[in-house]
Each structure stands twice: as C-alpha cells, then as structure tokens.
Structure 1
Amino acid sequence: MDPADFYTGIVAELYGPLKSVTQDPEPYAAFVEQAGTPALELGCGDGEPLLELRRRGMDVDGVDSSADMLDRLRRRAAAESLPVTLFHQRMEALDVPRRYAAVYLAGPTFNLLPDDATALSALRAIRAHLAFGGTVLIPLHLPAPTAEKDVGRARTATAPDGAELRVSVVAEDRDEHTRTQTTLLRYERYHPSGSSVTERPWVLHWYTRDGFRTLAAVAGLDIAEVTGPDGRPAAADADHLHVRLRPAD
C-alpha cells in the first residue's frame, strides 16, 4: 500500500469518491465473533467495515476523529435503516461510556499516530475501555518509500459531478531513526464550475515488533498473537501485521 492509496480515503470529504482502499470485513467480523461483543471500531471513517458488521447484527460502535466522515457514515446507515452509535473523538483521547469485549482498527490506522508518545496514550485509552477479558486487534504496517518513478505521477478518478480528481506524491522524507515517513500529497479537482489544488503533508509512523511490545506493556497490555492479515503466523520480515493484545492483569 503506498501513501497515495492510503490517504485518499482520509481526504474523501474534500474531493469525493477517490478512496481506493476498502477493508475486507471478514477478518474483523471473525475477530468480533471470537472476542465477543460489544465491540468498538476505532478509525471507522465512513463505515467500512463497521456497516457490514452492523448488517450482520453485531453490536459494534464506531469512533473517528473526522466529523465529515462520521456524517457520511450516518447518512449511509440511515439509508439502510441501520442504527449506529458513533463518537467523534481521537483514539488517544478516547472517553466513551461503554467497555468492550473487542476493540479493533480496520487497516493500519494506528500508523497515523505521529509518534510513540501519542501511540502510548492511545494504547492506554484502549486498555481503559476493555471489558474484563477483552481483546484488541491492531493492524500495523511498515511503509515502503515511494518509488522515485512514482513521485509526481497522478492517480485519477472521476467524481459523480464529472469533475476530474487527481492525487499525487509531490515529495517525501523518511527518517529511520524516528520511524516516520512524511509524504507531501497534492489533491487536484478540475471542473468547469471551478477547480482547486491542495497540498497536505501526511505522516506515517511505524514500529519495530519489540518497540510495539514495550509500548503495549507500559499501557498494561500483553501481545497475545502476531499474524498476517490472513490469520497465519507472520514472518519475521512481514510488513503487514495483525497484533492481538490482552490486558496484562
């Protein structure tokens, strides 16, 4: 997954349906079925896969930091007469009234937390919202640098109103010491009624396995299992992980 793919979903509220990543609901449905309900999806965005789990009758709430994304989710749910409980909060400041048997993120949203301190705050908040015996699922991603040939190359899509939408990587800075990759993305919209160009820096922060284990332990969580997205044991050099955590006590 490259940064342009990953972030088009985040800025969909500005530029329409440029989202190129839709999370497969099956791993998360299986996780909730195993861990139990109620469940909480962190970074639920505009409803994938939360809405599919609600269609299956699962008791799943959602949290997201984008009010626009949550508004779209509510409209989608209302169109299907699906009741949803949603909270407009950042995961590192999570404070909701329920405790959950299952807490999960769908896709590597945790990598959007900019540093270890913020990640630790999020893990502590997650721990505080777990019911007794609860389980957490956190996908993690080791981002690859954008290939030089792809810098400046635009991905395109067409909006329902006919506008041409483009997203491209303008520049990128990667710091192995702080484990951060900052990608400057350009979003363009062209339409006879008006056009716009916006550039935004997006930061991905990644973790070593030992480093993430240490953060989890400080937050009161133990790593119970590390697999690939397919549920099989993850290879030592895997760049996509599904990490399951349980309360340390």
Structure 2
Amino acid sequence: MDPADFYSGIVVDAYARLKSSTFDPEPYVRFVQRHGEPALEIGCGDGEPLLDLCAAGLDVDGVDSSADMVARCREKAAERGLTTGVFHQRAESLDLERRYASIYFAGPTFNLLPDDDTASRALHAIRDHLTEDGAALVPLWVPAPTPPDDFDVTLSASEDPDVELRYTSLSEVVDPQRRTRVTTARYERVTPAGVEVADREWLIHWHTPSGFHALCASAGLRVVSLVNDETGSPAPEASTTFTATVTREEGPP
C-alpha cells in the first residue's frame, strides 16, 4: 500500500478511538498569531488541531493525503458550525489557490513522507505556497524501535455497544541506512456478524538535524531555528525530537 493511503477504511475509525494523545492547539495558535494569516495545516487528519484554531477565529485551511480523513474532518467542521477549506492533496504535490503566511505540520507528520525525495518535493511545495515573508513549522521525530514486549499486545475500544475496534503491533523492521522504521500492524473491527481485518505497514522516515538542513537548502528554504523539544535550546545532532521553523530563501530554489 502507498504510505499516503495508510489512513483509510477501518484505520480511520480506529485512529479516532485508540489514539494515545491529543494535540494541544496553543503552540499552533501562537505560531499563526506570530507569522500571520491565512494559515495551512498539513496532515490535518480528522481536524485536530485545525478545527480548534478555526474556532479561535483564525483563518486556517487543512490538507491531508487521506480522502477518508478529509471527509471526516469536513463532517466534524460542519457539526461544530465551522467554515474552513479542507483539501485532499499530498504534501509533495500541493496545488492550492492561496499562498499562506503560516504553514505547519500537526505533530511529526513530516515523518510519514517515505523517503528523502518525497520529503524534498514536499519542501519545494511548501516554499511555493508560502508568502514572501511567511514561515513554516515542521516538528520532527527520530523514533526508537518498538519495545519487544509491545508486540502482539492488543489495544481495544468500543465503537458502539456491539462493535469493538482492535489494534495489534505484529512486527517491525528498522533500517538505519534508509532511516526508516516500518511497523506491521493489524486493525480489526469485531461485530456480531464477524471480524473485519486490515493489516497495514506504518512507515516512519526520520531526519537528522543536519540532514533536514540540507533538504531545506536544496528546496530554497532557510532554517531560522531548530529547537530541541525537550530542552527548548538549539537541537544538537543527536536530538530525537525537535522542531524546525523555516522561511523562503531569496531567489529561485
């Protein structure tokens, strides 16, 4: 399966009920307030934190590679009485009508781009969609291998009184040369009529601080800050969770 199609079908339903954390909208609110509107959230999923920013009165569009997530986001926006543009496009091939003063990824969504070529094309697309003085926020993550004891452990949640959703990590392959971690997982929907099963490969492609600097330079972007999320100080090369703020370089990329 194309990594961009991971969030589809049963996975979308399981994600909504089994995710381990929620996004705090405040860092994204502050980023947009600092750098300006309109703003674009890449990887908006089912609307978190996008819809909270819209509810705060900010002019923010959303884009996601998953058609099912986009449909759910639009439904949730309508339920909350919010008006926002939500588009079904890939980060590496953005083609939107507006340019944005603020562009941000919701969490380390950039790590879902499967290789350096795709990541580079996404950065070029971001540059094309930024205003001349705009800025983009890119959280990044270097994942550790999944602990062995976490495999074959099933997480579950009720979808309704007669339906149970399940998630189980089955196996994993970590490739330090390609900087990828591929986790094979099983999603299940258990109903009185039977069990629906979907096996998916969740691919994380990570970047080092120096590698991300190089990708940005080739895309005509300048890294104005690269901050270690744990310390709030400039990120050393060994950082495993850090956030970049980038702007357009002058002239063509």
Does TM, scored on the shorter chain, surpass 0.5? Answer: yes
Deviates more, 1:10-19 or 1:178-187: 10-19
Look up the match of 2:242.
241
1:206-242 deviation line (CA, Å, top 9, x unaligned): 0111111000000000110112447822552432111
The answer to whether the Cα contact below 8 Å between 2:165 and 2:188 also exists between their aligned partners in 1 is yes
Cα separation, partners in 2 of 1:16 and 1:105, compared to 1, 3 Å: closer
* Amino acid aligned to 1:171: S
Q: Once superposed, what is the RMSD of the aligned Cα atoms?
A: 1.9
Cα offsets for 1:128-157 (capped at 9, x unmatched) = 000011100001011110111111111121
**What CA distance in whole angstroms lies between the structure 2 residues aligned with 1:28 and 1:171?**
34
Query: Where does residue 211 of structure 1 map in the other structure?
Result: 211
Consecutive unaligned residues of structure 2, counting only runs of 5 or more, are: 1-6
Tell me, yes or no, if the aligned pair for 1:37 and 1:59 is still in contact at 8 Å: yes
Unaligned regions of 5+ residues in structure 1, if any? 1-6
TM-score by length of 1: 0.92
- What CA distance in whole angstroms lies between the structure 2 residues aligned with 1:235 and 1:119? 20
* Structure 1 segment 57-72 matched on structure 2, within 5 A: 57-72=57-72
Where 2:74 maps in the other structure, the secondary structure is: helix
1:18 shift after superposition: 2.6
Question: Could you tell me how far 1:194 is from its partner in structure 2?
Answer: 2.4
- For 2:3, the equivalent position in structure 1 comes to none
Tell me how far apart the structure 1 counterparts of residues 42 and 231 of structure 2 sit (CA, whole Å). 20
Greater mean alpha carbon deviation, residues 18-27 or residues 54-63:
18-27
Greater Cα offset, 79-88 or 113-122: 79-88
Cα distance change of structure 1 residues 209 and 22 upon mapping to structure 2, 3 Å threshold:
same
After superposition, where does 1:19-168 map in structure 2 within 5 Å?
Answer: 19-168=19-168
> Within 2, Cα distance between the matches of 1:161 and 1:139?
37
Flag the 1:234–1:163 CA change in 2: closer, same or farther, 3 A: farther
1:170 equivalent in structure 2: 170
Deviates more, 1:91-100 or 1:190-199: 190-199
Alpha-carbon distance in 2 for matches of 1:68, 1:202? 17
**Counterpart amino acid of 1:248?**
E
Moved more, 62-71 or 50-59: 62-71
Equivalents in 1 of 2:13, 2:154: separation in Å? 19
**Alignment-derived partner of residue 4 in structure 1:** none
Distance 1:99 1:230, change over 3 A: farther
TM-score (norm 2): 0.90
- Tell me which amino acid in the other structure corresponds to 1:210: S
Between the aligned partners of 2:162 and 2:68, the Cα distance in structure 1 is 22
CA distance change for structure 1 residues 91 and 216 in 2, over 3 Å: closer, same or farther? same
1:100–1:131 CA contact under 8 A, matched in 2: yes
Partner SS for 1:174 = strand
